[in-house]
Structure 1
């Protein structure tokens, strides 16, 4: 018999991820005896649904699955997350219950890696600096020799901090280009990096050698300010830092000073804090590009997340092992 399921996520997220095609697929894979979606788990109606369900499909905006919530869901066996990190809603009570937990992190890694590839190539050509100079003096074609230092993607060095789902995919996407790729990851072996076309080095060596550095490490207590003032100082003059991971990995004050001095460039999709204060110099510096956390799945890209969760549901219904399971031992090294 098909498992009873409930989708738990914010209203906008649900309507974005689950179009008609995916709602139809969900109805074919699971029983939906009551409302198939909710954004909250505290009301009497939500608790009645919880008492029936075997599977939750969660997403952005899902409330924490506390011991109280689980007590109202005695039949619950699995949580299939249609997004990346599970840390915001999967609590210790879930691991104690022995629930199957999966994540769509690999699906969400696709647009992040694509954004990062574009940022690396644009950084190499110094496109943001040219655009700022052109905008400052409309109608005049500025001599590139005088306006911007070393615009090139030929035989430059790219450093990947973290061979996560995103970092690994970025390495694969960089294969066709005439670039040297370095990687730093305390959990990776040299053979892991070599299989991706990268050379594993320690973090300080990577920072000294790379022309472009891109962050793909998880947000953990030990990675806060991973790039602090000292490590930012190791970057060569004119290097570009790209961050599509988490803002807390970088000392924002130290980076702001480096960028304001013109020594470093930065392409930042995430910041600390997020958003930055309105008075932050980073908004206006010509060598900095800020985007509002858009690298992850947006628009039709979010359908990959729903598909990943539905794929896990299909395997569960057929008695197969999950493709992308997460367990409590993973929490110390994943986003």
Structure 2
């Protein structure tokens, strides 16, 4: 069958059998989108980018531009499969995970704050080298983070649900948490992972440990984290928070020992070439009558 595809890029090279629409030819608030069968929401538009799904009665595939797809679940329906952007954000998010880790350990945030007053904050700082690191989440991005950590000679313990690929199973997390100098979170937001790091689990982290979250904000209990950071017992470096955007008067902005970046893990110059490459593969598969890759939610059953 022929497919009608909507993406934010109107200059994609598409194979025969694919009709390409975009913002110039079919604005998302127009009737022109009613024939779309494969939709890619504009990147970083959240629910505003997902809402047009309700005006696409022929839609068969919702191709998320993110690795996470929790915000798309409410739009699932019979006959509509949801695909994620597995692989597209691996290196960009892994870069930021490493950046946040190194910045916190080496005190880059303190140096930046001292710069306007000319304070010379010389003294020893913790190194990432030879630290014991817990990597909670060992999918595509997690494995890329692991590869970037390799030159630092860390003692790395990856975790996932199944124990596949040499990972430790999640049921061992609590017993091992007190042994880690750094804990990096890169797992999807699900009912099971929401507030996975609650007050009890945060209390299991060793004194002086660093928590790095490049996953989803809801995985950490924000109130419990604020309390731990105020005590000075642990540090944190966060690209994701709950809520987002973090209100200007939220106490998380003011607690000691935290670095905050505004959810920019995948939002780098690496996104466009990666996403274009994925879409080229997806459209070729559609033109050949095949399913696209990376289907994470089946429309008929409504299950992952």
1:6 matched to 2:5: yes
Q: Give the conservation status (yes or no) of the 8 Å contact 1:160–1:215.
A: yes
The C-alpha deviation readout for 1:44-94, integer Å capped at 9, x for no partner, is: 4433xx1xx44334444132634x742xx2xx544433333344346332x
State TM-score, norm by structure 1: 0.76
Q: Give the conservation status (yes or no) of the 8 Å contact 1:260–1:281.
A: no
Q: Give the conservation status (yes or no) of the 8 Å contact 1:212–1:240.
A: yes
The equivalent of 1:273 in structure 2 is 243
Q: 1:184 aligns with which of 132, 148, 159?
A: 159
* Aligned CA distance change for structure 1 residues 262 and 54 (closer, same or farther; 3 Å): closer
Distance 1:332 1:78 in 2: 15
State TM-score, norm by structure 2: 0.82
Q: Give the conservation status (yes or no) of the 8 Å contact 2:5–2:18.
A: no
Describe the SS at the equivalent of 1:204.
helix
* Aligned CA distance change for structure 1 residues 313 and 80 (closer, same or farther; 3 Å): farther
Which sits farther off after the overlay, 171-180 or 282-291? 282-291
* Aligned CA distance change for structure 1 residues 64 and 105 (closer, same or farther; 3 Å): farther
Q: 2:33 aligns with which of 37, 46, 59?
A: 46
| Greater gyration radius | 1
Q: 1:88 aligns with which of 47, 52, 71?
A: 71
The C-alpha deviation readout for 1:198-237, integer Å capped at 9, x for no partner, is: x657211332111111111211222221111111111111
Q: 1:174 aligns with which of 121, 139, 149?
A: 149
* Aligned CA distance change for structure 1 residues 177 and 37 (closer, same or farther; 3 Å): farther
Q: Give the conservation status (yes or no) of the 8 Å contact 1:161–1:185.
A: yes
Describe the SS at the equivalent of 1:84.
coil
Distance 2:95 2:21 in 1: 40
Q: Give the conservation status (yes or no) of the 8 Å contact 2:16–2:287.
A: no
> Shift of the alpha carbon at 1:162?
1.3
> Shift of the alpha carbon at 1:290?
0.9
The C-alpha deviation readout for 1:31-51, integer Å capped at 9, x for no partner, is: 2489654323xx44433xx1x
Structure 2 counterparts to residues 199-278 of structure 1, below 5 A: 202-278=172-248
* Aligned CA distance change for structure 1 residues 251 and 77 (closer, same or farther; 3 Å): closer
Distance 2:241 2:283 in 1: 35
* Aligned CA distance change for structure 1 residues 29 and 287 (closer, same or farther; 3 Å): farther
Q: 1:142 aligns with which of 115, 121, 135?
A: 121
User: Aligned Cα RMSD in Å?
Assistant: 3.1
Structure 2 counterparts to residues 103-122 of structure 1, below 5 A: 103-122=84-103
1:25 matched to 2:25: no
Unaligned runs of 5+ in 1: 9-13, 194-198
> Shift of the alpha carbon at 1:26?
3.6
Structure whose residues are more often helix by fraction: 1
Unaligned runs of 5+ in 2: 44-48
The equivalent of 2:105 in structure 1 is 124
Q: Give the conservation status (yes or no) of the 8 Å contact 1:104–1:309.
A: no
Distance 2:208 2:254 in 1: 18
> Shift of the alpha carbon at 1:104?
1.3
